[in-house]
Amino acid sequence: MIVPITSRRYQGGREYIVCPDLPLTVDEIRERMLNRSMASESTYAWKLVLSLHSDIFVKSLDIKKDYDTYFTPEYPQFAHYLRREVGLSPAAIGKLSQAYASALGMYLFDPYQAFLLDENGANILSKLIDNYTPHGTHL
């Protein structure tokens, strides 16, 4: 699941919370992204997908892990952490609370890639990462 949120840094910006489902691992998601992109090995597109994977799953904060590791004593409910520490809207909190148990992680991704900042950004991320085949069928 990809949850677009309004940027917390500047007006009109966009961030994402990327929530891949268990039991996939971060390495398996990288393979999925490369396969879904259909990029040929060692080409520009291949490196672009690898970089995107790293930006999301290596460099971005996993707020689920952050909550589990540091914030459970302070916020008995995940929703309270999301509201107070991450500053999310009620709609986003509802989606993430529902996905909490089945998510591998919840990566708070602030993209520098300008092509992810418009309406098509979530669509591109979803096609590369979400638990669907490119034709929309559940795996």
Binding site for other proteins (CB under 8 A): 10-12, 36-40, 43-46, 48-49, 112-115, 117-118, 120, 123-124, 127-128, 134
Phi, psi of 67 (to 5 degrees): -65, -50
Q: Measured from the CB atom, is 68 or 110 closer to other proteins? A: 110
Q: Measured from the CB atom, is 112 or 139 closer to other proteins? A: 112
* Nearest C-alpha neighbor of 130 from the set 100, 97, 90, 103: 103
Query: Closest separation between CB of residue 7 and other proteins, Å?
Result: 10
Query: Closest separation between CB of residue 117 and other proteins, Å?
Result: 6
Which residue has 């892990």 as its token pair? 65
- The answer to whether 139 and 133 are in contact (CB under 8 A) is yes
- The answer to whether 61 and 108 are in contact (CB under 8 A) is yes
CA distance between the termini of the chain: 14
Query: Closest separation between CB of residue 139 and other proteins, Å?
Result: 16
Q: Measured from the CB atom, is 6 or 37 closer to other proteins? A: 37
Q: Measured from the CB atom, is 41 or 101 closer to other proteins? A: 41
Query: Closest separation between CB of residue 58 and other proteins, Å?
Result: 19
Contacts of 1 (CB under 8 A, 6+ apart): 19, 21, 95, 99, 103, 130
